[in-house]
Amino acid sequence: MPTTEEVRLALRNVLDPEIGRPIEDIGMLKDVTVDGGSVRVTVLLTIDGCPLRDRITHDVTEAVRPLPGVDRVDVVLGTMSDEQRGQVATQLRGGRPQEQSFFTDGRTAVLAIASGKGGVGKSSVTANLACALAAEGHTVGIVDVDVWGFSIPRMMGVMARPVGLDDMILPPEAHGVKVISMGFFVPEEQPVIWRGPMLHKAVQQFLGDVYWGELDFLLADLPPGTGDVSISLAQFLPGAQMVVVTTPQDAARKVAERAGRMAAQVHQRVAGVIENMSYFLCPHCGEPTPIFGEGGGQEAATTLGVPLLARIPLTPALREGGDAGTPIVVADPRSEASRAFHEAARELARITRSRVGKPLNLTVAGGAGGQGGHGNGGHGGHGGHAGHVH
């Protein structure tokens, strides 16, 4: 018959889906009882009605069932008290004060995905690049700071809302990528009419109040241009590197170069350029047609003195994947577009590897412009769903 120690050892492989740590380490494993071949495991959920309760039950059952002598596994679910949730939040925060980012040690490479103008497919590039990095074995997150034009939740197919744990927000995950966005806090059709201080506070909360865990890469989907959000992100994460997205069109290229030059002014550096919509592949003969011209990405890369990371073809599947919430890197990993994204992901991993482990000199809470809104609604309270950021 199995012993209690053997069951607990097997349960070390069961991670909380949102936090990514063994359930025993964060106080979720309350009790294990063995009676002959019958095993009873009591698990405390962080919130009542946790949307991932079925997954946790499945993972616990599958971890214990293969043990020799186990005939039956019963999983009993309870709920943590306010005090227990507070202890978990303190543990995850590592003793750091509230609104302190988790990127101070420099182990996470932060990539700001930027473009000078809208309509070049920046969010599509962000979603697919993140999925490609995740498929390459990296732990990845996306912070969607395009507050006015948020689209990452739809493109990533994220349906669940963030969950609040004490004063910490747990981001939902899709395709192996953690995601936070203003789209989780306002209806999709509702416009966000904010000015500088409010935008600054939103960026601060997305970086400081969200539990990202140990990420290899954090991709920031910036709004077009060089406005308030880009400046705030640069202030909080001066060690971030920029990836400039453009199309081959000369007009788009010139504006993209302007966005790239902003990096030097805020003491960041450009990691590379991605040319999107490079050419249209005929679905019948496979012949490429340069609908938006040629050479804009390479010229921007040359001007900025950085590599051209990839040329992404214009294909209906890329658009369809974004609308369906399954990026083409996931839906069709062998496609030409997917191969281009994987090449860019591998090159970015190589470029940023030398910087991993170096402090980012993070600016924490209280920076300029932060007085424009307390944003406390973004906290989920004691284990509830994260409320509206305001």
Q: Which domain holds residue 19?
A: 4-80
**Are 182 and 64 in a shared domain?**
no
My answer on whether 217 and 279 are in the same domain is yes
CA dihedral 234, 261, 107, 28 (to 10 degrees): 50
Percent pLDDT > 90 in the chain is 45
List Cβ neighbours of 158 (8 Å cut-off, separation of 6 or more).
152, 172, 173, 174, 179, 181, 184, 325
> Which range (134-138, 279-283, 326-330, 344-348) has the least confidence?
279-283
Residue 227 inside a domain? The answer is yes
168-170/163-165 β-pairing? antiparallel
pLDDT at 378 over 70: no
Total domain count for the chain?
2
User: 199 and 158: one domain?
Assistant: yes
Q: Choose between 52 and 361: higher pLDDT.
A: 52
Residue 357 inside a domain? The answer is: yes
Residues 158 and 280 both lie in one domain:
yes
User: Is 61 in the same domain as 186?
Assistant: no
Query: 87 in a domain, yes or no?
Result: no
Neighbours of 170 (CB within 10 A): 27
Do 76 and 123 sit in the same domain of this protein?
Answer: no
Whether 224 and 295 map to the same domain: the answer is: yes
In angstroms, the CA 212 to CA 114 distance is 22
Is 284 a member of any domain? yes
Cα separation of 388 and 373, whole Å? Answer: 12
Distances (CA, A) of 214 to 207, 314, 386: 13, 34, 21
Q: pLDDT tens-digit profile of 132-151?
A: 999 999 999 999 988 777 88
- Domain-embedded: residue 381: no
DSSP secondary structure string, 75-106? Answer: EEEEE--HHHHHHHHHHHHTTPPTT--S-TTS
Place of tokens 């081959």: 248
Contact indicator for 388, 377 with CB cutoff of 8 Å: yes
Output the pLDDT for position 162: 80
Q: What is the pLDDT of residue 165?
A: 73
Helix (H, G, I), strand (E, B) or coil at 278: coil
Q: How far apart are the first and last CA of the chain?
A: 55
How many residues in total does the chain contain? 390
Residue 74 above 80 pLDDT? yes
Of 60, 80, 100, which marks where a domain is finished? Answer: 80
**CATH of residue 297:** 3.40.50.300
Say if residues 372 and 197 touch (Cβ distance below 8 Å): yes
pLDDT tens sequence across 283-306: 788 788 999 999 999 999 999 999
Q: What 8-state DSSP symbol labels residue 15?
A: B
Residue 264 covered by a domain: yes
What residues does 34 pair with on adjacent strands?
Answer: 39
pTM above 0.85, yes or no: no
Are 244 and 352 found together in one domain? yes
Strands 168-170 and 173-174: what pairing?
unpaired
Residues 71, 198, single domain; the answer is no
Overall average pLDDT of the 97-114 stretch? 70
Closest by CA to 389, choosing from 99, 63, 13, is 99
Instruction: Count CB-CB contacts under 10 A for residue 345.
Output: 25
Using alpha carbons, select from 207, 267, 213, 277 the residue that is nearest to residue 242.
267
Domain assignment present for residue 92? The answer is no
Sign for the pseudo-dihedral over CA of 216, 143, 173, 63 = positive
CATH of residue 35's domain is 3.30.300.130
Task: Report residue 368's pLDDT band, with 50, 70 and 90 as the boundaries.
Answer: very low
pLDDT classification of 267: cutoffs 50, 70, 90: confident
Confidence at 40, pLDDT banded by 50, 70, 90? very high
Q: How confident is the model at residue 119, as a pLDDT?
A: 84
Would residue 99 count as lying in a domain? no
Residues 242, 321 within the same domain: yes
pLDDT band of 87, cuts 50, 70, 90: confident
Of 208, 241, 229, which Cα lies nearest the Cα of 358? 241
Are residues 172 and 313 both part of a single domain?
yes
Q: Is the model's pLDDT at 386 over the cut of 60? A: no
Q: Are residues 217 and 123 in the same domain?
A: yes
Nearest to 388 by CA among 164, 156, 93, 154: 164
